[in-house]
Chain A
């Protein structure tokens, strides 16, 4: 009596083992049994003809997942509009950077006497002359009203927040002062309506400025996003990291060479000769305004004191 043992293995064409004998293709009676589902051979599995079909089927299975169906290919992503750029008040600076971006954080860093405050006041002057209202949060109460007026800033349009820097020895008071500075900035950015908000941390020691957490800078950047406010930070070293869209580094001053050549005593230029052309060297370190990586570019321009020339 012949009997056939049917199993899923047989249906799938897989060999089944009975009493240790391989009866592939044969029933118990030893008759040939046609394979139900022909199995590909190893060569066939790795053939070129077979592989694309296999990869497409896998990809289709993946994309059939509802979550993955929502993924937009990169080629179809909309291009984020570039922020509006406004003049910084200095023509060569505008030529270097394209201006200051609205709704973004711009950092200007450099050591003492590098021209940071000069650039800051020029930007504020340009903003107030455009009819905008500006605010300066002064961490060390360092602004000079005479310089503000000489730079051409409309005093009625400038709000000056004078935080008091505490002595380094009293750490608790110093922490409180820094907290006041950050809190005042938060309040101004939340209130909105200013064309430019400048954070003057030029006198803050780098170790103190670095204590401001990155989350704070993200919060500041988020607060001005999609608004027409230019957020400008002046400091000794860059501390905002990737939060800033534009990073300009100013180099320490040097006595102007051309003036030295004209002077009778090249070692000691006269007061007017020195103060009429203070050279400021600015380097564009980072700009997120363009898609391609920016090459470091440098410019040098001169500034003069209010009473000279």
Chain B
């Protein structure tokens, strides 16, 4: 049974470089700790060549002008770890989360899908690179051999069956204890340090030397632990994977060193986050139907004082982008977020950006040759967002009638072609001369009218706001009284008239309303 291991060397540095790809060609060192006791925690190869090592103080590292120092970011490491698991799970359903920087996957049965083992290894390497990770990939017949090969050899390594001892032999014994720094148990860490010292005293520096030791003598001195280490050195240890079912969480975050004020640099960072999220979703064949943006803002009102621990108080800004359908287009998402932020700006400098996507199954739609034209969902969403930016969100959409007799009892809701298709009920109508239904055109707001009454009869109507709506009442019908919501605070009562006015040009039919509660006369609309 073949197994593959994906290992991210210098994981804290790798997480930083994933967020800032432009630093890949430069010497980078990551530090952690509280000032002034900050120490270098991880370095990349270029920084190592310049003499920067782990454990060095930040002040010492700063003496080298060519190295770029970045603080350690748990957020970025978490995102990088999630991306690592996404990469592994795009090839195999059985993935073990061995460490923050290591994932092991079972390749049993994958040859028929992805090709030979070298092809699979190269595909994994490419996929990880696409997700912004600089990784080592190794394939072996057991998980531990694959892990040690990935930690020891850079690039892509494939160990043929029963050649594990030969291939792993040149590696240093430290490969067996590479995860000792991550151990939270201090005693476990100390015992591993002791074993390393013991091997150093014996002159055992390579796995080949450890594998060549006599088993009985080794077990007498180091016990079962020593025998286990020897099996690992020979590449013969076998175990079953412990697959971890990770919840599908697609989040990316960036903490900014300097707050940003303008939306343009924010768009640049959002683009990067969106591309990473979309790549991770694509690796799992998923789309998204909701994007959640959270911005940590600098709180200006709290600037003059700080909290007890000395940190600056922050406030958060949330925006949720609901999509009509599951989609996966980073450019479209960026445009929609830009339009949304233009309409609802944060109002304060931004310190941190957190973007999350709700995963959803991709939509499946069956096209047809003879279907009537319909707008493309992605294009339509962008068009609606742009128009909403012009006239306001509440003034565009589909209309929904409310169950009320009050005037203007309707509301605007989101225009969703998909729901229209699902509720498609074709009505067949016979076109006759009498099919046309007379329509009413509304005046919004209703036109205030000055009404002349003679013996209680409407004689003349004048609207000062609209010159053409005035004249003698040629014909009238009414009133029709209606009222409602008398049990509510906003009760209403009105008399409606249909009138024909003779103005200078022609005759026109209007609806005249007398507000019984307010006492005013209004021309509500015209029959057209």
Closest 3 CB pairs of A and B: A193-B375, A252-B506, A271-B477
Kindly state whether residue B177 has any CB partner on chain A within 8 Å: no
- The answer to whether A278 touches B387, judged by C-beta atoms less than 8 angstroms apart, is no
User: Given A141-B444, A158-B398, A193-B379, is A278 in contact with B506 using a C-beta cutoff of 8 Å?
Assistant: no
Interface residues of A (CB under 8 A from B): 87, 89-92, 94, 111-122, 125-126, 129-133, 140-152, 154-164, 180, 183-184, 187-188, 190-195, 202-203, 227-229, 252-255, 268-271, 274-275, 278, 280, 301-306
User: Given A115-B528, A131-B372, is A303 in contact with B438 using a C-beta cutoff of 8 Å?
Assistant: yes
Residues on A with beta carbons closer than 8 Å to the beta carbon of B398? 155-156, 158-160
- The answer to whether A187 touches B386, judged by C-beta atoms less than 8 angstroms apart, is yes
Query: Considering the chains assembled together, what is the distance between the CA atoms of A126 and B429 in angstroms?
Result: 9
- The answer to whether B442 touches A144, judged by C-beta atoms less than 8 angstroms apart, is yes
Kindly state whether residue B374 has any CB partner on chain A within 8 Å: yes
Query: Considering the chains assembled together, what is the distance between the CA atoms of A120 and B506 in angstroms?
Result: 21
- The answer to whether B420 touches A154, judged by C-beta atoms less than 8 angstroms apart, is yes
Residues on A with beta carbons closer than 8 Å to the beta carbon of B424? 131
Give A127's nearest chain B residue, CB to CB.
B372
Query: Considering the chains assembled together, what is the distance between the CA atoms of A163 and B387 in angstroms?
Result: 10
- The answer to whether B438 touches A118, judged by C-beta atoms less than 8 angstroms apart, is yes
Query: Considering the chains assembled together, what is the distance between the CA atoms of A117 and B509 in angstroms?
Result: 13
Residues on A with beta carbons closer than 8 Å to the beta carbon of B444? 140-142
Q: List 21 A-B contacts (CB under 8 A).
A: A91-B433, A113-B509, A129-B426, A131-B372, A133-B375, A142-B441, A145-B401, A147-B440, A155-B398, A160-B399, A163-B391, A180-B391, A191-B379, A194-B373, A203-B441, A229-B373, A271-B498, A278-B527, A302-B434, A303-B438, A306-B438
Shortest B144–chain A CB gap in Å is 57
Shortest B240–chain A CB gap in Å is 54
Query: Considering the chains assembled together, what is the distance between the CA atoms of A89 and B375 in angstroms?
Result: 23
User: Given A113-B528, A162-B395, A253-B506, is A184 in contact with B390 using a C-beta cutoff of 8 Å?
Assistant: yes
Residues on A with beta carbons closer than 8 Å to the beta carbon of B498? 271, 274-275
Residues on B with beta carbons closer than 8 Å to the beta carbon of A125? 429
Give B399's nearest chain A residue, CB to CB.
A145
Shortest B396–chain A CB gap in Å is 5
Shortest A111–chain B CB gap in Å is 5
Query: Scoring B residues 396 to 430 as 1 if CB is less than 8 Å from chain A, else 0, what string do you get?
Result: 11111100000000101001110110011011010
Query: Considering the chains assembled together, what is the distance between the CA atoms of A12 and B371 in angstroms?
Result: 78
- The answer to whether B401 touches A149, judged by C-beta atoms less than 8 angstroms apart, is yes
Q: A203-B441, A275-B527 known; 20 other A-B pairs, CB under 8 Å? A: A90-B436, A91-B432, A91-B433, A117-B528, A118-B436, A118-B438, A131-B426, A142-B441, A156-B398, A160-B399, A162-B391, A191-B380, A193-B376, A194-B375, A252-B507, A252-B508, A253-B506, A255-B507, A275-B438, A275-B477
- The answer to whether B438 touches A130, judged by C-beta atoms less than 8 angstroms apart, is no
Residues on A with beta carbons closer than 8 Å to the beta carbon of B437? 118, 121-122, 147, 150-152, 303-306
Query: Considering the chains assembled together, what is the distance between the CA atoms of A266 and B308 in angstroms?
Result: 89
Residues on A with beta carbons closer than 8 Å to the beta carbon of B109? none
Give A92's nearest chain B residue, CB to CB.
B433
Residues on B with beta carbons closer than 8 Å to the beta carbon of A140? 444
Residues on A with beta carbons closer than 8 Å to the beta carbon of B527? 113, 275, 278, 305
Query: Considering the chains assembled together, what is the distance between the CA atoms of A103 and B379 in angstroms?
Result: 20
Residues on B with beta carbons closer than 8 Å to the beta carbon of A229? 373
Residues on A with beta carbons closer than 8 Å to the beta carbon of B435? 89-91, 122
- The answer to whether A192 touches B379, judged by C-beta atoms less than 8 angstroms apart, is yes
- The answer to whether A129 touches B427, judged by C-beta atoms less than 8 angstroms apart, is yes
- The answer to whether B439 touches A118, judged by C-beta atoms less than 8 angstroms apart, is yes
User: Given A111-B508, A193-B374, is A143 in contact with B442 using a C-beta cutoff of 8 Å?
Assistant: yes
- The answer to whether B475 touches A268, judged by C-beta atoms less than 8 angstroms apart, is yes
Kindly state whether residue B468 has any CB partner on chain A within 8 Å: yes
Contact of A195 among B373, B426, B433 (CB under 8 A): B373
Residues on B with beta carbons closer than 8 Å to the beta carbon of A162? 391, 395-396, 412
- The answer to whether B379 touches A113, judged by C-beta atoms less than 8 angstroms apart, is no
Query: Considering the chains assembled together, what is the distance between the CA atoms of A254 and B509 in angstroms?
Result: 10
Shortest A259–chain B CB gap in Å is 11
- The answer to whether B427 touches A274, judged by C-beta atoms less than 8 angstroms apart, is no
Residues on B with beta carbons closer than 8 Å to the beta carbon of A183? 390
Residues on B with beta carbons closer than 8 Å to the beta carbon of A268? 475
- The answer to whether A156 touches B419, judged by C-beta atoms less than 8 angstroms apart, is yes
Contact of B440 among A114, A146, A192 (CB under 8 A): A146
Kindly state whether residue B225 has any CB partner on chain A within 8 Å: no
- The answer to whether A148 touches B399, judged by C-beta atoms less than 8 angstroms apart, is yes
Query: Considering the chains assembled together, what is the distance between the CA atoms of A229 and B375 in angstroms?
Result: 11
Kindly state whether residue B443 has any CB partner on chain A within 8 Å: yes
Give A122's nearest chain B residue, CB to CB.
B436
Query: Considering the chains assembled together, what is the distance between the CA atoms of A114 and B526 in angstroms?
Result: 10
User: Given A202-B441, A202-B528, A303-B438, is A133 in contact with B374 using a C-beta cutoff of 8 Å?
Assistant: yes
- The answer to whether B412 touches A160, judged by C-beta atoms less than 8 angstroms apart, is yes
User: Given A147-B439, A155-B400, A155-B401, is A253 in contact with B376 using a C-beta cutoff of 8 Å?
Assistant: no
Residues on A with beta carbons closer than 8 Å to the beta carbon of B416? 156
Contact of A155 among B386, B399, B429, B506 (CB under 8 A): B399
Residues on B with beta carbons closer than 8 Å to the beta carbon of A195? 372-373
Shortest A144–chain B CB gap in Å is 4
Contact of A255 among B432, B475, B525 (CB under 8 A): B475
Residues on B with beta carbons closer than 8 Å to the beta carbon of A180? 390-391
Query: Considering the chains assembled together, what is the distance between the CA atoms of A157 and B424 in angstroms?
Result: 10
Max chain A C-beta neighbours (<10 A), residue from B371, B436, B442: B436
Shortest B521–chain A CB gap in Å is 19
Shortest A209–chain B CB gap in Å is 14
Query: Considering the chains assembled together, what is the distance between the CA atoms of A149 and B403 in angstroms?
Result: 13
Query: Considering the chains assembled together, what is the distance between the CA atoms of A148 and B528 in angstroms?
Result: 13
Residues on B with beta carbons closer than 8 Å to the beta carbon of A184? 387, 390-391
Kindly state whether residue B383 has any CB partner on chain A within 8 Å: yes
Residues on B with beta carbons closer than 8 Å to the beta carbon of A112? 468, 506, 508, 526, 528
Residues on B with beta carbons closer than 8 Å to the beta carbon of A132? 372-374
Residues on B with beta carbons closer than 8 Å to the beta carbon of A255? 475, 500, 507
Kindly state whether residue B431 has any CB partner on chain A within 8 Å: yes
Query: Considering the chains assembled together, what is the distance between the CA atoms of A97 and B423 in angstroms?
Result: 33
Query: Considering the chains assembled together, what is the distance between the CA atoms of A99 and B525 in angstroms?
Result: 29
Shortest B469–chain A CB gap in Å is 8
Query: Scoring B residues 364 to 398 as 1 if CB is less than 8 Å from chain A, else 0, what string do you get?
Result: 00000001111110011011101100110001111
- The answer to whether B436 touches A270, judged by C-beta atoms less than 8 angstroms apart, is no
- The answer to whether B427 touches A152, judged by C-beta atoms less than 8 angstroms apart, is yes
Shortest B474–chain A CB gap in Å is 8
Residues on A with beta carbons closer than 8 Å to the beta carbon of B399? 145, 148, 155, 158, 160
User: Given A113-B527, A187-B386, is A133 in contact with B417 using a C-beta cutoff of 8 Å?
Assistant: yes
- The answer to whether A118 touches B373, judged by C-beta atoms less than 8 angstroms apart, is no
User: Given A160-B398, A161-B387, A191-B380, is A144 in contact with B441 using a C-beta cutoff of 8 Å?
Assistant: yes
Max chain A C-beta neighbours (<10 A), residue from B376, B434, B439, B441: B439
- The answer to whether B528 touches A118, judged by C-beta atoms less than 8 angstroms apart, is yes
- The answer to whether B391 touches A129, judged by C-beta atoms less than 8 angstroms apart, is no
User: Given A111-B505, A133-B375, is A152 in contact with B442 using a C-beta cutoff of 8 Å?
Assistant: no
Contact of A159 among B397, B426, B509 (CB under 8 A): B397
- The answer to whether A144 touches B506, judged by C-beta atoms less than 8 angstroms apart, is no
Residues on B with beta carbons closer than 8 Å to the beta carbon of A187? 383, 386-387
Give B468's nearest chain A residue, CB to CB.
A112
Query: Considering the chains assembled together, what is the distance between the CA atoms of A79 and B415 in angstroms?
Result: 40
Query: Considering the chains assembled together, what is the distance between the CA atoms of A182 and B382 in angstroms?
Result: 17
Residues on B with beta carbons closer than 8 Å to the beta carbon of A115? 436, 438, 528
Max chain A C-beta neighbours (<10 A), residue from B399, B419, B505: B399
